[in-house]
Structure 1
Amino acid sequence: MATLLVGDVHGCFNELQALLAQADFNPQRDTLWLTGDLVARGPDSLKVLRYVRSLGNAVRLTLGNHDLHLLAIFAGISRNKPKDNLTPLLEAPDCDELINWLRRQPVLQIDEEKALIMAHAGISPQWDIDTVKRCAREIEAILSSDIYPLFLDSMYGDLPNCWNDQLSGLSRLRYATNAFTRMRFCYPNGCLDMICKDVPKKAPAPLKPWFEISTPVTEKYSIAFGHWAALEGNGAPDGIYALDTGCCWGGKLTMLRWDDKQYFQQEFLGQEVQIGS
């Protein structure tokens, strides 16, 4: 019974299949955790969504910013750009079913027994664990409701960038969404910087990666995240696992087997590979 944590798939279906084959993944026995950004940029977003959905309870995923952007495109809020390679998915006969399944997925995974958290971008340094859970539930509730397009239409924007428990409505949801799905750098006080996307050594002072600001959450839990391909899986402190290694950008797809902390990686494949083949 293995727990397998995989970084951003971004439509790289063949690579996901080959990576899971390396660890002999069996959905009847093992659990697959996915950091989000299942779709966009890579060649086979449709196959990825169909496959992940088919795994049922064997998968635990978190939504990423590209997954939310797909929902916004479907809702007519954002434009479908050719570089995202989403047209086959949007034109598929089961697109409605896949979208309705996707918008009911979580933005946060927590395993208390393992003391493990997964979120696409990370956990805001300004949050305690109760706030983390509460904000995740609020996003998930509105995404699964009939008014989800209203939320998607308002999620774009970089403000507010400082947490206040008195935040309410769409401003509160926007901050939480940015923290869970877009955050990279913070100011020393934990306020989010939503502009810099570089590697930490090139970031202007006083910005720090969110995971370099110690909080009660990071002291109690290990955190696995994706989103930040420029890190190439490096530079995070002990207990913080950066799993996006930029497969869709010509890098690799990375998996961590949690049980023994063994890493697996898969470079781009030019042909379809099935588990067990």
Structure 2
Amino acid sequence: MATYAIGDIQGCREPLERLLERIRFDPAADRIWFVGDLVNRGPDSLGVLRLVRNQLGERAVTVLGNHDIHLMSVWSGHGRLKDADTLRGTLDAEDADELIEWLRFRPLMHVDEGLGYAMAHAGLPPAWSVAEAQLRARELESALRGAIPFDDFMDNVYGNRPNEWSDELSGYDRLRFITNAFVRMRFTDSEGRLLLRYKGHPGKAPADHFPWFEVRRRLRASPDPLTVVTGHWSVLGFHRGEGVLSIDTGCQWGGTLTAVCLDDGAERVYSVDCTER
């Protein structure tokens, strides 16, 4: 039995199938963690959703990413397709409603204390402990699953403010920060405030832009008890550091699709080339 984490797929079904063959995935025994962004930019988002939902089923754990939420937004009539989007085939599919409803019920965060890992698409902001992040994830999951009208949520979730966490935040300001932290964050300032505009490499970042995991490590009173597995940051690429394992290796841009074995102590890495883009 093995548990593998796989980076952002973003509609690249064929590389995912090759990667599952590469790791010799056994659906009777193994489990797969997907770090989010199953869809968009690649050529077959519909095929990826069907594979993960219908074929892998309960053997797969998927957290939501920003492109997954974008698909939900367009489906609900509040978002618009962008020039680079490749979601039309998914939206027009006969099982689109069923697949997107399934997405709505994916978590924002997954924790396995026995393995020693937590998973979130973008990461965990410095303001939250792992336990606090789990509580915030449940808030957002409840909103996505119907605690508030879905149309209202999608009409208010986008925006860069507030960029600083406070327990006093309420309403859509609170949900917007939680959303940005889990699915959009890459950089914070030195005090842990989210900086969402710059998306490039840390080596070329503007002044006072620091990778979230560096600021988290510095501001937290004690080290995280779990390693946080993330995707979202293809420019950063594969990054293994203290308390973080980032595995988005840019399949949708012609890079690679990466899997890491989480339960062998060595974090063995597997990858396949992505030639579709």
TM range (shorter): over 0.9
Matching residue of 2:263: 259
2:3 aligned partner, one-letter code: T
8 Å CA contact 2:130–2:224 kept in 1: the answer is no
- Separation in 1 of the partners of 2:246 and 2:87? 26
2:40 aligned partner, one-letter code: A
Rate the CA distance shift 1:56–1:170 in 2: closer, same or farther, 3 A: same
8 Å CA contact 2:74–2:80 kept in 1: the answer is yes
SS at match of 2:11: coil
Query: Where does structure 1 lack aligned partners over 5 or more consecutive residues?
Result: 271-277
Aligned residues: 269
8 Å CA contact 1:222–1:240 kept in 2: the answer is yes
SS at match of 2:124: coil
User: How high is the TM-score relative to the length of structure 1?
Assistant: 0.94
The answer on 1:30 being equivalent to 2:34 is no
8 Å CA contact 1:185–1:193 kept in 2: the answer is yes
User: Which residue among 224, 229, 235 is the counterpart of 1:230?
Assistant: 235
Matching residue of 2:197: 195
The answer on 1:183 being equivalent to 2:189 is no
The 5 Å alignment of 1:110-259 reads 110-145=111-146, 147-213=149-215, 214=217, 215=220, 218-234=223-239, 236-259=240-263
- Separation in 1 of the partners of 2:223 and 2:172? 27
User: How high is the TM-score relative to the length of structure 2?
Assistant: 0.94
Greater Cα shift, 218-227 or 17-26: 218-227
1:165, distance to aligned residue in structure 2 (A): 0.5
8 Å CA contact 1:186–1:210 kept in 2: the answer is yes
Greater Cα shift, 114-123 or 260-269: 260-269
- Separation in 2 of the partners of 1:174 and 1:206? 23
8 Å CA contact 2:115–2:262 kept in 1: the answer is no
8 Å CA contact 1:120–1:180 kept in 2: the answer is yes
Rate the CA distance shift 1:181–1:216 in 2: closer, same or farther, 3 A: farther
1:79, distance to aligned residue in structure 2 (A): 1.1
2:23 aligned partner, one-letter code: A
1:221, distance to aligned residue in structure 2 (A): 1.0
- Separation in 1 of the partners of 2:159 and 2:223? 27
1:66 aligned partner, one-letter code: H
- Separation in 2 of the partners of 1:43 and 1:218? 40
8 Å CA contact 1:37–1:63 kept in 2: the answer is yes
8 Å CA contact 1:109–1:119 kept in 2: the answer is yes
Greater Cα shift, 77-86 or 154-163: 77-86
Matching residue of 1:275: none
- Separation in 2 of the partners of 1:139 and 1:225? 18
1:257 aligned partner, one-letter code: C
SS at match of 2:263: coil
8 Å CA contact 2:202–2:210 kept in 1: the answer is yes
8 Å CA contact 2:190–2:209 kept in 1: the answer is yes
- Separation in 2 of the partners of 1:150 and 1:106? 20
1:147 aligned partner, one-letter code: P
1:163, distance to aligned residue in structure 2 (A): 0.4
8 Å CA contact 1:129–1:217 kept in 2: the answer is no
8 Å CA contact 2:230–2:245 kept in 1: the answer is yes
2:272 aligned partner, one-letter code: Q
8 Å CA contact 1:128–1:216 kept in 2: the answer is no
SS at match of 1:51: helix
